[in-house]
Amino acid sequence: MKSPDYVPYSYFYNPKFINQAKEALAFIPNPDQGWANPTDCVEFTCTGLYNIVIYIENPRYSGDTIPIGLPTRTFSIISNNVEEGSISAQAIPNCNLIDDWNAYACETDDIGTLIFDSKDPDR
Amino acid sequence: MVATGNVVSGSWHHGFHFTPDRCDGSTSNKFENNVAHSVSGYGAIAKNVPNDCTEVKNFWSYKVTEAALMLGGPSLINRATNVHSIDTRYGIAVHTAADHESSLIEPRAELHNCKVYSELMDNMDCAPGQVCDHCIDRTGMVLNQATSQKHDDFQIKWPKLPLFKGSGNLSGAGYYYDMEFIGFTSKTTTCGSRQ
């Protein structure tokens, strides 16, 4: 994904996973450090990929390969902020890091995205 | 333009390039029940059109090196219904490209009843005995990449793919209903690429 600024909130309703390995269900890459340039995010890390929320309602699993250990009811997948000193998903109850996804699986539907949109001319 | 029941294979950059219909079917543009496979590029690219709601439906694409379908015009809703992506690089690529105030209007990328299949084991990228020069990653789908400008729907040359661009719009959402993901039994393909 090439999303330095923002990836919109994603809602999945009744997705069906057939012969799905847990490790291959999702992946959220870290921001490209090359985006920290004068055109994109100046000297700062672009945080779009650190603010992804994927809401999954009523997932269904079937087949010979089942992603064992995932919630069977509504859950959310959110980014793993690896910036030094940053605390994000690990502070949210019922969120568990899944290394293969580079993301957290959170047994909650209470996670949203709050956007502050600057109206300055140089936004 | 009406294009139904066609098959394209072996082409470069894309299989189909067409003008999509409105969701209510009110235009004369009909693109349905077509198949694209074995394409070095996209299965189909929908032309950028500014509707309230644009829909592509009933399309199949397999073994293409970009996405099965690229739909990223400036419509308020871009929708794919009953689209099947089989063994493709980016799966189904439906994105928003509308510059709206985030607090007022939400452009939507929608998928309805779409199916995404992983690598086909009987049609591997690098079968035994072959030179392995085309081992590509697989992705079931790419989440909505909301841009305030536009995503490309054509290229004079082929400088860099994919066609969908980065973010830039703080408004938008992805709504994905009754999707099926099939056969992603490992995070690597048979030739070692990621999926």
More confident residue, B76 or B167: B76
Residues B3, B33: contact at Cβ < 8 Å?
no
When pLDDT is averaged across residues B39-67 and rounded to a whole number, the result is 96
| Nearest alpha-carbon partner for B116 in B186, B164, B69 | B69
State whether residue B181 is helix, strand or coil. Answer: strand
Q: Is residue B73, in this structure, part of any structural domain at all?
A: yes
- Residues in Cβ contact with A5 at an 8 Å cutoff, skipping those fewer than 6 apart: A46, A48, B166, B167, B168, B170
Measured CA to CA, the distance from residue A95 to residue B165 in angstroms comes to 31
Calculate ∠ Cα B79-B82-B86, nearest 5°: 110
Residue B155 CB-half CA count within 13 A: 16
Within 10 angstroms of residue B136's Cβ, the number of other Cβ atoms is 19
Q: Calculate what percentage of chain B has a pLDDT beyond 90.
A: 65
CB contact under 8 A, B172 and A18: no
Q: Is residue B142, in this structure, part of any structural domain at all?
A: yes
Q: Is residue B192, in this structure, part of any structural domain at all?
A: no
Q: Is residue B194, in this structure, part of any structural domain at all?
A: no
CB contact under 8 A, B185 and A65: yes
State whether residue B98 is helix, strand or coil. Answer: coil
Q: How much is the pLDDT for B5?
A: 97
Confidence category of residue B101, pLDDT binned at 50, 70, 90: low
| Nearest alpha-carbon partner for B89 in B135, B151, B36 | B135
Confidence category of residue A72, pLDDT binned at 50, 70, 90: confident
Q: Residue window 67-106, chain B: list those with CB within 8 Å of chain A.
A: 96, 101-103
pLDDT tops 70 at residue B54: yes
Weakest mean pLDDT among A68-77, B7-16, B82-91: A68-77
| Nearest alpha-carbon partner for B181 in A65, A54, A108, A53 | A65
- Tell me the sheet residues that pair with B69: B44, B92
Q: How much is the pLDDT for B166?
A: 67
Looking at every residue in chain B, the average pLDDT score rounds to 90
Out of A8, A14, A24, name the one closest to residue B187 (CB). A24
Measured CA to CA, the distance from residue B59 to residue A7 in angstroms comes to 26
Q: Could you read off the pLDDT of B102-135 as tens digits, one per residue?
A: 667 889 999 999 999 998 888 888 888 888 888 8
User: Which residue in chain B has the smallest CA separation from A51?
Assistant: B170
Confidence category of residue B183, pLDDT binned at 50, 70, 90: very high
- Residues in Cβ contact with B127 at an 8 Å cutoff, skipping those fewer than 6 apart: none
pLDDT tops 70 at residue A74: yes
pLDDT tops 90 at residue B8: yes
Confidence category of residue B163, pLDDT binned at 50, 70, 90: confident
When pLDDT is averaged across residues A13-31 and rounded to a whole number, the result is 95
Name the token pair of A100: 């293969």
With residue B146 as reference, give the H or E element that holds it.
none
Q: Is residue B190, in this structure, part of any structural domain at all?
A: no
Residue type, A89: A
Residues B94, B72: contact at Cβ < 8 Å?
yes
CB contact under 8 A, B173 and A2: no
When pLDDT is averaged across residues B173-181 and rounded to a whole number, the result is 97
Confidence category of residue B159, pLDDT binned at 50, 70, 90: low
CB contact under 8 A, A8 and B175: no
Name the token pair of B86: 């089989």
CB contact under 8 A, B143 and A24: no
| Nearest alpha-carbon partner for A21 in A58, A55, A75, A68 | A68
Confidence category of residue B164, pLDDT binned at 50, 70, 90: confident
A9: contact with B, CB 8 A cutoff: yes
More confident residue, B170 or A26: A26
Q: Could you read off the pLDDT of A94-117 as tens digits, one per residue?
A: 999 999 999 999 998 899 988 887
Q: How much is the pLDDT for B157?
A: 75
Measured CA to CA, the distance from residue B187 to residue B170 in angstroms comes to 31
Q: How much is the pLDDT for A122?
A: 67
Q: How many domains does chain B have?
A: 1
More confident residue, A28 or B100: A28
When pLDDT is averaged across residues B155-167 and rounded to a whole number, the result is 75
Residue type, B16: F
Which residues span the domain enclosing B155?
2-182
